[in-house]
Structure 1
């Protein structure tokens, strides 16, 4: 395709993601005539490429829905949410919200959180490299000051909290499909994602740990974070949860007030 005159960029983008839209004025073929067939092929190739990118980012959602349904869902998303960046690894940030509000999927409310966990995995994978906090640093803090410690979140560290068994669903449909994983939809699960080195690690959090870790990530002191978790979960274990965070590289540094 070529242009006989300058094609308006906004008009072109709108037509590209609207299958009912006509070929933009000024877009012509080698013969100098308007080229609707060529534009339709180009439009379809763009949409298919974006759908494929979504499938690569959300393979667990794709597996749960099946190729055909996921393809239709992805196409519906692409036409409503065209890319805002030329970098495809940034594409799909709104997908979980779209899934959550998509009426035909109301009977599968856990799918949105599956998408959120997969998106968090991608963000952790591409996060800035940084050496995690050495756990021995905490032992060097004066005992009377430990409660006032504030931890700095590692760039790759994230928490996904769900009322659904999101950890089991993603394992069964992406990371460990051959395992005999029993899915209990009454089970709420929260996951900590870290990347201390080259690969992303995902840890199923203990009861109350999501409240604890999120508070720390938001800048609360250690004592404040533990208190918030303890109020919500009587059996919250500070030592176990803090050990999980330190051993998985959830923190980049610490400060003492």
Structure 2
């Protein structure tokens, strides 16, 4: 008799590979092996996971169409089983898979559109936190501002693309109207956040991704500014700080070498 773990592995493998035989021990009501019943179950699993990807990546589906998306999703599903009982966790590797899927190479921006969609899903399911406003900072002495550290909302995600991926995503969701896009016009940076009930996706300028990443890692404002300025000498510290706070992306602050507080 096979060990249970081995039976489970063979069952999981056979679910996604029609070339494999029906796992040993699976029988119908008559006590005989039931390949037909297992084939139905196998198909339901693949169809269910494909639908999960379609729901999570509506813009990608809209761009490539149902037939292409079905082939793309099935190719992904057979190589990546869910690792969590919660299906909203499934598909984290789909954007990278798209980037390596040869038939999708004619749409070089598609993986980045998928990254925006994945960031949207992660932001939607991120932990709750209460944003703070500009009034929380009014009593801070100007000479202490460079040492401020900011605690960002748990939902904040950044997607950088060398293509206008944000524009393309916007054209293909929420009633957007697809239109011509100049892929040579330059890339776009997107920030995704859910400060309240709704997920918001907006464009941010060059230098902002470096600035936000530095803040998220606990770097003080001055150090984060230096990283942003190295990426883009035109980076506007005051405008970017104000935008972060007004957009509800900051939930706490402190000072370098001091505990966070508000």
Is residue 126 of structure 1 aligned with residue 125 of structure 2?
yes
Which residue in the other structure is 2:213 paired with? 214
- Work out the CA distance in 1 between the residues paired with 2:220 and 2:182: 35
For normalisation by structure 1, the TM-score amounts to: 0.93
Which structure 2 residues correspond to residues 1-257 of structure 1 after superposition, within 5 A? 8-178=7-177, 182-186=180-184, 187-257=186-256
Report how far residue 13 of structure 1 moved: 0.5
- Work out the CA distance in 2 between the residues paired with 1:168 and 1:132: 27
Report how far residue 194 of structure 1 moved: 1.1
For normalisation by structure 2, the TM-score amounts to: 0.92
Gaps of 5+ in 1: none
Q: Is the 8 A contact 2:158 2:191 kept in 1?
A: yes
- Work out the CA distance in 2 between the residues paired with 1:103 and 1:49: 24
Q: Is the 8 A contact 1:189 1:204 kept in 2?
A: yes
The count of aligned residue pairs is 252
Q: Is the 8 A contact 1:168 1:181 kept in 2?
A: no
CA offsets per residue over residues 108-131 of structure 1, 9 Å max, x none?
221111111100000000111110
The CA RMSD measured in Å over matched residues stands at 1.6
Q: Is the 8 A contact 1:201 1:248 kept in 2?
A: no
CA offsets per residue over residues 98-146 of structure 1, 9 Å max, x none?
1111122222221111111100000000111110122222222211010
SS at match of 2:107: coil
After TM superposition, which residue ranges in structure 1, 4 or more long, deviate above 3 angstroms? none
Report how far residue 83 of structure 1 moved: 0.8
- Work out the CA distance in 1 between the residues paired with 2:8 and 2:252: 46
